[in-house]
Chain A
Amino acid sequence: MQRVDTIGAVFAALQQVKTDAPAYCANFFPAPQKLERWIDQGELFLEFSPGAVFFFKMDREFWRIYFCAANRDVLRRQFMSLTAVKTEPMVIDMLEYESTPDGLLPLIESIGFRRYAKLCRLTCPGSAHLPSSRSDDRQPVYAVQEDVPGIFEMLGCYFDRYAEQLPKLSEVEMAVENRQVSILKHDQTIAGLLFFETQGAASTIRYWLVAEKFRALHYGSALMRAYFAAHGATRRFTLWAMADNDLALQKYRHYGFTPDRLTDHVLVNERIPE
């Protein structure tokens, strides 16, 4: 496993694997800005095998593993030969459209990973009739840097670190700096938050949360309505939700979100306890 020092090394690795590989398969869909951040922070490593390359991204006390392979046979063979998979806690995300007949999940399971969680992507067109803020809504504000520790702690308490790609402290700081976290406070405590990323005409809700003791006070709906009100020009809203969280799915449906068939199967290896 070697540390990745430049984004060029990533593309060179992809090039080596993808050239003349019509059955190319991958779970690695790198957005350049995100890649640059991982590289700058020394969190990205790679391992070459003939016909395949594996990327390892440090995430708290475990690794997220990504692969690109010339075909499935190569993937299975080279995956099984990776020492790190046997010695380190690993998580793998497999994005697939529902009912894809020839998905890669069985292959990943056959090399020692077990299913841990399933998330589904929901989208909402910006042209839909979106709920607007009500006059009696509490008005959220954008978080400031002094809110960062509280936001970080809440995310860690309420979301799953293996399945929900929790941000590091520095990522929360950056999101706050970019006004991508709106919060509602009850006295001096953060009661709820909505953490989002907007690029051009698309916006993704990453986390929407009201702390347990402040539920039923309509803080969640106030956050959501304010978010929609601030995104009048957005054409597409997206979020990921745990597929078995019926209550959350019901709430998202209420705001016009519907599943778009893309799922994220999160699998973990035996180094991650049951």
Chain B
Amino acid sequence: MEFDPVSQKLKCPFCDSVFDVKDYVANHNSNSQGQVVEDGSDTQQGSEPLYVYSCGSCGGEILATESLGSMKCPFCSNNVVVKEVFTGTFKPDCIIPFKHTREEAIDNYKKHVKSKKLVPKFFLDQNHIDEIKAVYVPFWLFNATVDYDAHYECTKSRTWSDSRYNYHETKYYEVQRTGSENFENVPVDGSREMPDDLMESLEPFDFRELVPFNMGYLAGFLANKYNVSVDESKPRAVARIKSSVPADFRNTVSGYSTVHTLMEHMDFTKESYKYALYPVYVLNTTWNGENYLFAMNGQSGKFVGNLPFSMAEAVKRYIPIALILWFVFFVIYYAMF
């Protein structure tokens, strides 16, 4: 049984029969009716064990609903060592299911690399591309209401002249804006193994497609368990909101030549958070002793990842460009002087 991103349903790879995710849960739950499950979660089935794979090298913990055999760690390419039955609680609030298939991910990676001219040829090598993994990455989604109050000093300028003088008039205004702004689902990644800037580069994730969590979505995919707590993640969300609010209010001050903020005050009220899983395709590669991590947004298809600079490729292009420019500049010089 695997969750199929194209149909957004659970599909049996052998008989092509298709199940709605909600039905899948209901069927299994009937088996465990009456049985008190120790962790009290009704999304975790007793008959469907959850496995956790731990990487001895980077410490990453990957959860899977099936027993996958030996597997490479998606974050650092080292072989994953320990496999155990997962006994803890795994209870995300919501999830954005995968919308792009693995083939699309491979295609996007190839497109991403091909379009960059200065990349070493190594990155187009097929055997690395096969190691793309589909992982649900844990995110903390924050909601907040921010009260904001600001005072600005603004000017309007006007110049005109007559036959003898230039005139310059400046009008001064005192401007105030007070109000509040609401923010929803500001994401902060809760996985230590996934670099924050890489995850932020994958944004936006359309949170309107968030659905309540159901174990069925995990079938055939890996999930990363969170290891950064809410309290550790909150400051990042606060910082991002704090930089948006003054800008948004400042945009309501218009029609002036200059605007200068005299005083501003921000207050956070009504904060809440959710634990969500976002779909990400992950590929990592080692080249020249350095590890390169690439990611694709499993919902939108956006592909990001820093590629290394190849001096050989750069020189190959620099020489013909320089020669052509030399010819062009000389012709211009000769024609002008």
A, B co-complexed? no
